[in-house]
Amino acid sequence: MKKFTATLFVLLAAQMVLGASASAASIRDDICSKGVFNAGVKYDSPPFGFVDENGDVGGFDVDLVKEIGKDLTAFCKKPIKIVYKQVTSKNRIEFVQNGTVDIAAATATATYGRMDTVDFSNTYFLDGQRLLVPAGSPIKSTRDLAGKRVATAQGSTSEVNLKAAAPKANVISLQQYTDAFTALQQGRVDAVSTDSTILLGLKASAPDPSKYAIVGPFFSSEPYGMILKQNDSTWRNFVNETLSRVGADGTYRKVFAKWFGPKTKYSLPDPKRSQDIPAQFPVRR
């Protein structure tokens, strides 16, 4: 009996230790031990995540991922290699959940619905949904969409917002925003709809951007957050600290100016838009 009690005690103690270490293991520490940071980014959403003429992945989201990578290298005290993995609006949540990526910095709106299955970083960009149409199109706002074919991406909030704002529109959900824009360029759809800045990026990627126009008022609010695995506050806080740092040290403004500044291809037409990271952060002390 004594032996049995002793064995039981050992087993219980072992389970407590294992249980404690399992719950303490954070993606942050996993990255440090592997030396690799798998970052999910878009390839279809210029200027947030896209593949340039040289085949390199770049964009606003990618630049912020690089800052997280820098902070990881400092924290882990060894070089951390960033490996970019393509995610789409449809698979980005699943890729975070199943560990294919450590983060998805992928134009994702933080919604409470999505928070049922994943967590989000603090907000790092604010946008809203509009329409992209051929210049001179009779479509001026969501009120003109009845019976019209409107392309967007599967798994996006844009799909949901569009169905609510224009219930009589024929919403066509494609794999990628670049597919949606190709459909518009080929006259297979009448409009593309998603966040205004992605529309700006798609328009700017056309051989002649003046052939397209972004129209109508914003009909949604889209606060972007990076997608993170649920209940890993060590990793989430790490990412949020990087976002706080870049907001405080001027990096965010530099990255903003690089992609959206007045002389850029994606210059944001709204002069009132803030060039600072949205200020809803715990302060860095």
Residues forming the site for ligand GLU (CB under 6 A): 89, 107-109, 153, 156-158, 194-195, 198, 222
- Of 28 and 95, CB closest to ligand GLU: 95
Q: Which is nearer to ligand GLU, 62 or 72 (CB)?
A: 62
Shortest reach from residue 106's CB to ligand GLU, in Å? 6
Nearer to ligand GLU, 41 or 108 (CB): 108
Minimum Å gap between C-beta 157 and ligand GLU is 4
Least distance from ligand GLU to the Cβ atom of residue 73, Å: 28
Closest CB 221 distance from ligand GLU, rounded Å: 10
User: Between 32 and 145, whose beta carbon lies closer to ligand GLU?
Assistant: 145
Cis peptide before 217 (omega within 30 of 0): no
Cα 247–Cα 253–Cα 256 angle in degrees, nearest 5: 120
Give the C-alpha separation, 83 to 86, whole Å: 10
CB of 6 to ligand GLU, least distance (A): 55
Nearer to ligand GLU, 28 or 130 (CB): 130
Decide whether 72 or 227 has the Cβ nearer to ligand GLU: 227
- Report, in Å, the least distance between residue 139 CB and ligand GLU: 20
Distance CA 232, CA 211 (A): 46
Question: Which is closer to ligand GLU, CB of 36 or CB of 126?
Answer: 126
C-alpha–C-alpha distance, residues 181 and 198, integer Å: 11
Q: Round to whole Å and give the CA distance between 52 and 14.
A: 52
* C-beta nearest to ligand GLU: residue: 156
Nearest distance in Å: CB 79, ligand GLU: 30
